[in-house]
A and B are shown apart, each in its own frame.
Chain A
Amino acid sequence: MSTLLASMPGRRLSRRRSAKTDPLRRLGRLATRLQQALSSPAPQHAQLDYCLDRIVGRSDAFRRDHSRHRNAARHGWPAATSRTRDDLLDRLSDLRATITDAYALHTGPAWRIDRVVSAWQLLEELRSLEEFEDHELHAKDGAISVTTEPIVLEDVPLGRFQIVLNVARLCSGRIDASLFSVVALEPNPPHGDESITHPHVRDGAPCLGDATVPIQTAVRQGRLNDAFRLVERVLQTYNPASSYRSLSEWTYVTCDNCGDGVSPDESAICSACEQTLCCHCDASCQGCHESFCQGCVETTSDGEHNVCSRCAGHCAHCAAADLDSRLDDQDGLCRSCFDERESEDPAEEDAEEASAAEPDPASPLLPSTIPTVLISTPTLTPTPSAEAEPVT
């Protein structure tokens, strides 16, 4: 009877369908695939191919960033030049790390099998991933993923992360940090760099730091649960000494003028062009005291103050900018021109002063002495004898 059932087309279809849909069978197939990968080291050429791909990929990224940096420098954009220079150095650092990894891989001790893991043990490991809040197994896509709880570091909410183990990469013989990628499910990147979703994650690649070796050991020994748990522990930990971006600067905004980071509380917005400004690039108008960038204000002739277009007037003599209200008080002249005009006509002024101060001999109310220093015109200077003798 069973033979008969098995020979029926419908029965075969049913079996095939159940093999595809049965979660346990899927787990079993994945466990078998993992067991084969962990039981035999990848051929040397496969590892070489992988290293070469990584180096070429990073070289391409470096070339792209170099082009962006060159364009920014050529156009004379200081903020963009600074930013692209940072990106360029990051790429260079990545490239160096990749080459170092490749060198270590090919010069270090050969990859050895620490412990022969059975498919049954790996099946148990895969099933144990249920302890994570959420987990997914994509045998076809070659990925195993778990989801962390929402992560908050130093009061900065970073959201949940999906930790993905690339099975295809594992099967190609790669047992290093690149096995895992991290996807931010509710990304909260720092201002100005969306590639960073966590202080230790950039472009989806976690930098595992102290966990690198224990994770490699765990994967080699088939302890997938431990490996995922270690990555999760890294995500739950903040190491300020070596982070892509400090958490204290996570909410910083970038000054559009100089490219520096600045706390939102200490930043300003240009009232004219709405650029974000740090305290050093904030050129407040002396008239209205509103914030402006350097490009939206004019500097007064004395070089000490800034005035916006609404508060600015121009000197009738030299056309220099100054406060409109001040120009009114200075006969339409800026401070420099006004002072210059005042100092240019001393003779006329002195003559006026002298005539006002000349003693009237007919007046008995005049003081007995007049300080001669008040009279600077030579023609009006009294004789030494007169200076010595009091006027009577």
Chain B
Amino acid sequence: MTIFFINNDGGGFAANLEVADETTVARLFADRMPGRKAEDYLIRVDRQPVTADHLLTPGSRVSFTPTKIAGASHRIASRRSVVHRTPA
């Protein structure tokens, strides 16, 4: 069956994906995100949070979004750190 798979990690992409019938969310995660922990991702099917054993159906919209994404600052990171000196 075909599902619409969205991976918001790394470069991020969305594409139609062929998966076996009765594929669960946990199975899809293990296949597509090897070495990653499911608890580090917001996993949704058809925009709704689901459990790991949720069965995918044809046309399901599955998205994996990291729960933590490191932001940055434009400047050199260490340059403007406030100087903190301990009392003499």
Q: How far is the CB of A202 from chain B (nearest CB, A)?
A: 7
The answer to whether B84 touches A209, judged by C-beta atoms less than 8 angstroms apart, is no
Q: Which residue of A lies closest to B81 (CB)?
A: A246
Partner of A233, one of B47, B68, B76, B88: B68
The answer to whether B10 touches A214, judged by C-beta atoms less than 8 angstroms apart, is yes
Main secondary structure of the interface of B (DSSP, over half): loop
Among A63-71, A221-229, A352-360, which stretch is in contact with chain B?
A221-229
Given A115-B14, A239-B71, the answer on whether A229 and B84 have CB atoms closer than 8 Å is no
Q: Which residue of A lies closest to B8 (CB)?
A: A214
A213 to B87, CA, bound (A): 44
A252 in the interface (beta carbon within 8 A): yes
The answer to whether A242 touches B70, judged by C-beta atoms less than 8 angstroms apart, is yes
Q: How far is the CB of B59 from chain A (nearest CB, A)?
A: 13
The answer to whether A237 touches B74, judged by C-beta atoms less than 8 angstroms apart, is no
A239 to B80, CA, bound (A): 15
List of A residues within 8 angstroms of B86 by Cβ: 279
The answer to whether B75 touches A93, judged by C-beta atoms less than 8 angstroms apart, is yes
Q: How far is the CB of B83 from chain A (nearest CB, A)?
A: 5
* Interface residues as binary, A242-280 with B (CB distance below 8 Å gives 1, 0 otherwise): 111110010010000000111100100000000000111
B72 in the interface (beta carbon within 8 A): yes
A241 in the interface (beta carbon within 8 A): yes
List of A residues within 8 angstroms of B8 by Cβ: 214, 218, 226, 229-230
List of B residues within 8 angstroms of A278 by Cβ: 85
List of A residues within 8 angstroms of B77 by Cβ: 241-243
Beta-carbon contacts under 8 Å, A208-223 to B: 208-211, 213-218, 221, 223
The answer to whether B73 touches A244, judged by C-beta atoms less than 8 angstroms apart, is yes
The answer to whether A262 touches B84, judged by C-beta atoms less than 8 angstroms apart, is yes
* Interface residues as binary, A112-149 with B (CB distance below 8 Å gives 1, 0 otherwise): 00010000000000001001000000000000000000
Beta-carbon contacts under 8 Å, B30-71 to A: 42, 47, 63, 65-71
Given A213-B12, A237-B69, A245-B82, the answer on whether A280 and B88 have CB atoms closer than 8 Å is yes
Classify chain B's interface size.
20 to 34
The answer to whether B83 touches A94, judged by C-beta atoms less than 8 angstroms apart, is no
A200 in the interface (beta carbon within 8 A): yes
Instruction: Tally A residues with Cβ within 8 Å of B.
Output: 52
Q: How far is the CB of A60 from chain B (nearest CB, A)?
A: 17
List of A residues within 8 angstroms of B14 by Cβ: 115, 217-218, 221, 223
The answer to whether B70 touches A237, judged by C-beta atoms less than 8 angstroms apart, is yes
Most chain A C-beta atoms within 10 Å of own C-beta, residue among B65, B70, B86, B87? B70
Q: How far is the CB of A199 from chain B (nearest CB, A)?
A: 7
Q: Which residue of A lies closest to B10 (CB)?
A: A214
A298 to B47, CA, bound (A): 70
Given A233-B69, A260-B85, the answer on whether A244 and B75 have CB atoms closer than 8 Å is yes
Most chain B C-beta atoms within 10 Å of own C-beta, residue among A115, A217, A261, A266? A217
The answer to whether A242 touches B79, judged by C-beta atoms less than 8 angstroms apart, is no
Question: Would you give 12 A-B contacts (Cβ < 8 Å), ordered by A?
Answer: A90-B74, A90-B80, A207-B72, A208-B71, A209-B70, A233-B42, A233-B65, A237-B68, A237-B69, A242-B71, A261-B82, A279-B86
Which chain A residues have a beta carbon within 8 Å of chain B's beta carbons?
A: 86, 89-90, 93-94, 97, 115, 128, 131, 199-200, 202, 206-211, 213-218, 221, 223, 225-226, 229-230, 233-237, 239, 241-246, 249, 252, 260-263, 266, 278-280
Among all A-B residue pairs, the 5 with the closest Cβ atoms: A214-B12, A261-B82, A200-B71, A209-B72, A239-B70
